[in-house]
């Protein structure tokens, strides 16, 4: 384990923003992680795949790249409990689960990043969230190196949200996550977005979890920019949820507004639609801009600075606020 100084971290964020870390270390097991936690740096931050971070500045203190791997299984009659190292690539874990016919994460195919980051924002896509398969995670306190087990309850999961984005922000290093997946009687969810339509076009009427994973991969590949080709962090903003009465007012002025009623009684409005209505879709501002196929995704056309992207994000927030009286909040972590 070697701590380097002034490390170039441009290749460690999917936005491809250039930045330096004052001190940088890779950890590949829990012992190394604990030893690093005990070092006396004023600031310590954990980096996974860098697919949900905007580097607005150089990083002060110690940046810890989590590369803890490993997987262990406990079999039960109808389900399997799997504990996975925090540094394992999320999509590789999903492909492995699908290959073994373990169900529950197929809708979460092709999400970039690491297993250790998955509880941070309760990753979600196509009607499934991490919390649906989550059992517990173990994390080290970044100051004391002490381990704590977090249950579903203590993680306080919400929509793209958890304890780790609030009270626990920047305090923990998640080194393993335990999931429950189904071995048979899979609870398949094909009702969301374009999954059903994609399956129909392929002539699949009784989809396996593998069919669903493939459909999700196909849809995502056609809609989202590949970070290897064009820098981005996926959805930059969360979808806002508004009160029903406020939504009625919006709807009377915008009859075509898409909407989804939530169990809470609130109404979810796709942020991408709001941004598009303000004229941002496909617009380029300097080296940054809004992706041409999905306005919710901000992109780096090459050579963009973190400040340029955050200035664009602020301009979008202000224009949506002016037009719709809705304040968008970033989903991406601003560093
Ligand atoms: P990073 O970006 O490295 O870190 C994100 C935050 O988590 C940081 O604050 C970091 O400090 C913290 N963190 C990371 N690892 C740990 C750890 N082990 N312990 C403690 N803290 C940690 N997200 C979705 O929810 N759904 C999607 O469908 C989705 N699609 C995406 C598509 C694209 C093309 C891209 C680029 C991103 C997408 N994302 C999506 C966002 C992103 O992939 C997820 O949020 C992912 O979980 C981030 O993982 P990461 O390892 O890259 O985390
Ligand atoms: P989409 O299918 O074009 O739909 C637009 C938005 O409407 C989505 O964001 C989704 O909200 C919502 N939506 C669609 N069908 C819904 C339903 N049946 N019930 C409730 N809400 C519904 O979306 P997309 O951009 O192609 O993304 C597809 C899925 O992948 C979404 O779940 C999205 O969150 C996820 N995704 C996430 C990221 C990220 O970085 N976070 C990036 C790409 C895709 P939700 O977002 O709340 O699901």
Q: Give residue 194's pLDDT.
A: 92
Q: Which two tokens stand for residue 77?
A: 């009659």
Q: Which two tokens stand for residue 50?
A: 């860098």
**Residue corresponding to tokens 């097991």:** 29
Is 51 catalytic? The answer is no
Q: Give residue 1's pLDDT.
A: 85
Q: Give residue 79's pLDDT.
A: 97
Summarised one tens digit per residue, pLDDT across range 79-89 is 999 999 999 99
| Neighbouring-strand partners of residue 174 | 139
- C-beta 268 within 6 A of ligand 2: yes
Q: Which two tokens stand for residue 70?
A: 């490993």
Q: Which residues touch 142 (CB under 8 Å, ≥6 apart)?
A: 37, 44, 46, 170, 171, 172, 173
* CA 126 to centroid of ligand 2, rounded, Å: 6
Q: Closest by alpha carbon to 314, among 302, 301, 332?
A: 332
How far apart are alpha carbons 53 and 12 in whole angstroms? 10
Helix, strand, coil percentages, rounded to 5, for the chain: 25, 30, 45
Q: Give residue 193's pLDDT.
A: 82
Q: Output phi, psi for 266, to 5 deg.
A: -75, 170
- C-beta 242 within 6 A of ligand 2: no
- C-beta 124 within 6 A of ligand 1: yes
Q: Cα angle vertex 310, ends 308, 314, to 5°?
A: 115
Q: Which of 160, 176, 214, 308 is catalytic?
A: 160
Summarised one tens digit per residue, pLDDT across range 150-187 is 999 999 999 999 999 999 999 999 999 999 999 989 99
Identify the nearest ligand to the CA of 236 by its number: 2
Q: Which residues touch 168 (CB under 8 Å, ≥6 apart)?
A: 162
How far apart are alpha carbons 70 and 2 in whole angstroms? 21
Identify the nearest ligand to the CA of 218 by its number: 2
Identify the nearest ligand to the CA of 126 by its number: 2
The pLDDT profile of the chain, 335 residues, written as one tens digit per residue, is: 899 999 999 999 999 999 999 999 999 999 999 999 999 999 999 999 999 999 999 999 999 999 999 999 999 999 999 999 999 999 999 999 999 999 999 999 999 999 999 999 999 999 999 999 999 999 999 999 999 999 999 999 999 999 999 999 999 999 999 999 999 899 999 999 899 999 999 999 999 999 999 999 999 999 999 999 999 999 999 999 999 999 999 999 999 999 999 999 999 999 999 999 999 999 999 999 999 999 999 999 999 999 999 999 999 999 999 999 999 999 999 99
How far apart are alpha carbons 289 and 106 in whole angstroms? 31
Q: Which of 109, 118, 235, 310 is catalytic?
A: 235
Sheet of 4-8: strand order equals 4-8, 20-27, 59-66, 44-47
**How many Cβ atoms from other residues are within 10 Å of residue 94's Cβ?**
23
Is 99 catalytic? The answer is no
Buried b (16+ CB within 10 A) or exposed e, 198-208: bbeeeebeebe
Pocket test for ligand 2, best of 118, 130, 193 (most atoms within 8 A of CB): 193
Q: Give residue 92's pLDDT.
A: 98
Give the atom of ligand 1 at the shortest distance from the alpha carbon of 130. 25
How far apart are alpha carbons 331 and 120 in whole angstroms? 11
């Amino acid at each position: 384990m070697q701590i380097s100084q002034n490390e170039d971290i441009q290749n460690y964020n999917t936005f491809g923003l250039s930045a330096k870390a004052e001190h940088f270390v890779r950890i590949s097991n829990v012992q190394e992680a604990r030893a690093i936690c005990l070092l006396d740096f004023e600031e310590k931050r954990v980096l996974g795949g860098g697919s949900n971070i905007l580097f607005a500045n150089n990083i002060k203190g110690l940046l810890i790249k989590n590369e803890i791997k490993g997987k262990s299984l406990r079999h039960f009659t109808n389900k399997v409990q799997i504990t996975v190292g925090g540094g394992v690539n999320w999509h590789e874990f999903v492909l492995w689960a699908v290959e073994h016919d373990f169900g529950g994460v197929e809708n979460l195919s092709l999400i970039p990043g690491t297993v250790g980051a998955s509880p941070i924002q309760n990753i979600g896509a196509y009607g499934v969230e991490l919390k649906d398969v989550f059992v517990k995670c173990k994390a080290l306190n970044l100051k004391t190196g002490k381990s704590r087990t977090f249950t579903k309850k203590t993680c306080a999961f919400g929509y793209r949200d958890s304890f780790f984005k609030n009270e626990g922000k920047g305090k923990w290093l998640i080194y393993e996550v335990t999931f429950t997946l189904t071995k048979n009687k899979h609870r398949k969810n094909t009702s969301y977005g374009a999954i059903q339509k994609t399956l129909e076009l392929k002539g699949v009427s009784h989809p396996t979890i593998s069919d669903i994973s493939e459909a999700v991969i196909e849809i995502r590949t056609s809609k989202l920019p590949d970070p290897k080709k064009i820098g981005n962090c996926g959805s930059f903003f969360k979808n806002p949820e508004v009160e029903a009465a406020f939504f009625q007012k919006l709807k009377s002025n915008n009859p075509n507004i898409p909407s989804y009623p939530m169990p809470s009684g609130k109404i979810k409005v796709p942020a991408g639609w709001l941004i598009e209505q303000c004229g941002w879709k496909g617009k380029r501002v300097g080296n940054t801009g809004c992706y041409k196929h999905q306005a919710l995704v901000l992109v780096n056309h090459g050579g963009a600075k973190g400040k340029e992207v955050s200035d664009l994000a602020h301009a979008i927030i202000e224009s949506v606020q002016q037009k719709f009286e809705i304040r968008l909040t970033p989903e991406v972590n601003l560093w």
